[in-house]
Amino acid sequence: MNSLFKQQVFEIIRLVPEGRVTSYGAIAKAVGYPKHARHVGNALRSYDEDFPAHRVCNSSGRITASCLAGFTEKLNREGVAVRGDKIQNFKIIFWNPVEEL
């Protein structure tokens, strides 16, 4: 993973609208590396407090980040329901950067 990859990942995540979520894999595909979902997750190990990392989950709508409680709280404030670690209505609120950009 290089700095350009991380920069592109962060640019896309900043575009995810409030109240919507996307996946690591969708972001990887959007930056041209469809098999690098784990690298997207690795890029998200460090970010600013106001960065919308909470809007990124795995391909089945589960929050896999270690800060589950914080992400759940932020998503709830945006109107996104989370039960346990699962985002409710995931398919409905999913934001696909390949289609949206």
pLDDT tens digit sequence for 13-70: 999 999 999 999 999 999 999 999 999 999 998 898 899 999 999 999 999 878 889 9
- Letter string b/e over residues 2-23, b meaning 16 or more CB atoms within 10 A of that residue's CB: eeebbebbbebbeebeeebbbb
Q: How many CB atoms lie within 10 A of CB 37?
A: 18
- pLDDT score at 66: 81
- pTM, two decimal places: 0.93
Q: Which residues pair with 21 in a beta bridge?
A: 94
